[in-house]
Structure 1
Amino acid sequence: MQDIHSPSVSSDTSSQLITSHIAHASHVSADTHRASVVSLTNRRAALESELDALADILATHGATMDTPLVSRDGYPRADIDVAQVRFTRTRIIMLRNDLKTISSQIEEALFAFHAANSAVTATASKSSPPTTPPIAIPTVPFAVVDTVADNSPASLAGLLPGDRILSFADIHAGNHDRLAALARTVQKSENIELHILLLRHFDNTSARAEIHATLTPRRGWGGQGLLGCRVLPL
């Protein structure tokens, strides 16, 4: 007589069902995180486009973020639309703060996506195709760090001469536009942390390693430019 208290499903089958459930849950999670990355990236692109437009507005008024708006006597300059420049600067500062927040959110979403995707790989059957399209990780360097100034943002981030750049924020070998895209990103990212992926070769050996660095473009470090390093295309 069959024992009605015994399990009706074998332990092996039960284990397979549990594994399948975990894999499915991980797939759903990975899909969700991937959608979040795409949405945040689109939002960042929109912010960057608006920042470009606002920079053009300042340029048409012959002003930058640092141009004095008062004369030596302390009066508003008559040759500049002071109200418009002030409004544009305020908007730029707000958008830069938003851009900084979204960049951090993208890094967190990417980390969550890769963690979820790793769980999928660990639990799914080898014969089953992945349901989540992978997010490409740059593997081809597009630029090399030529020189790094002492005490510069690049130096503080740990960059070394000879480091090859695999990615700089969202710039990679497929979209750097002869480094013009990198330059635009730097100009729009003053005081904003940028994630960089480097490929570093070690002297007198064939060893190399991928280095993750965080670089914050800024002024006032004692030298020229926002980075304090010279980057050359490959």
Structure 2
Amino acid sequence: MGILMDDNIHAPTVASGPTSGVTPPDFSKLSMPELMQQKERIEAELTALSSVLSSHGVNMNSSLTTFDGFPRDDIDIAQVRTTRVRIIHLRNDHKDVMKYLEKALHAHFAQLQNAPAGESAPNGTSAAPVALSSAVDDSTGNPGALGTPFARVNTVESASPAAEAGLKTGDLIRSFGTVHWLNHERLSKVAEAVQQNEGRPLTVKVSRKTDGATEAVEVDLQLTPRRNWGGRGLLGCHLVPL
């Protein structure tokens, strides 16, 4: 049997977060900062619960029975089942949070755009047009295509797919394919995008500050994940979340 980390095998081995066991909050009534806090909390708990499954050597789809239909004796089945249920609930909560967060962002930027230059939006944010253009990628019109950087390029291996695409150490990632700061889930979605697009180019938008420059420039790159380039991984770079 798997090692039990708690006397109660029906409970996950990590804290379930402030909303566990109680009625979940009404996300529609939360402010944008509160929604961001909920987003971060949910993503942190999802990461922790995923680690619980990984410690048993299973994922959300792994079979809990042997080939002949008997319960597996190498894992704590009760704990795995409970953890999976919690992950499903959290994923649903995350979708709700993202829905209301995008609505709140749209309303916020609409207020910024409509307010006279130099005045402040209701939350005290400057209403200068640059605030809108720097935060929203106008080329897509997608409410989720927000340009806030969410990761930094820590290292880039020479001759790697990342290096060939022009990615540089210190670049700030604004979007990676369809992944952006609202949905990257602590970079787990970046890893999924890489695995699902091996051999196919992904558009990567980065913010880059060159030596001596006072402002960063926006650069669009085409990055194609691939194997057998002479190093580890499909990209040959290391990203760290901001």
TM-score, normalisation: structure 1: 0.47
Find the structure with the greater CA-based Rg. Answer: 1
Q: TM-score, normalised by structure 2?
A: 0.46
Report the structure, 1 or 2, having the larger helix content: 1
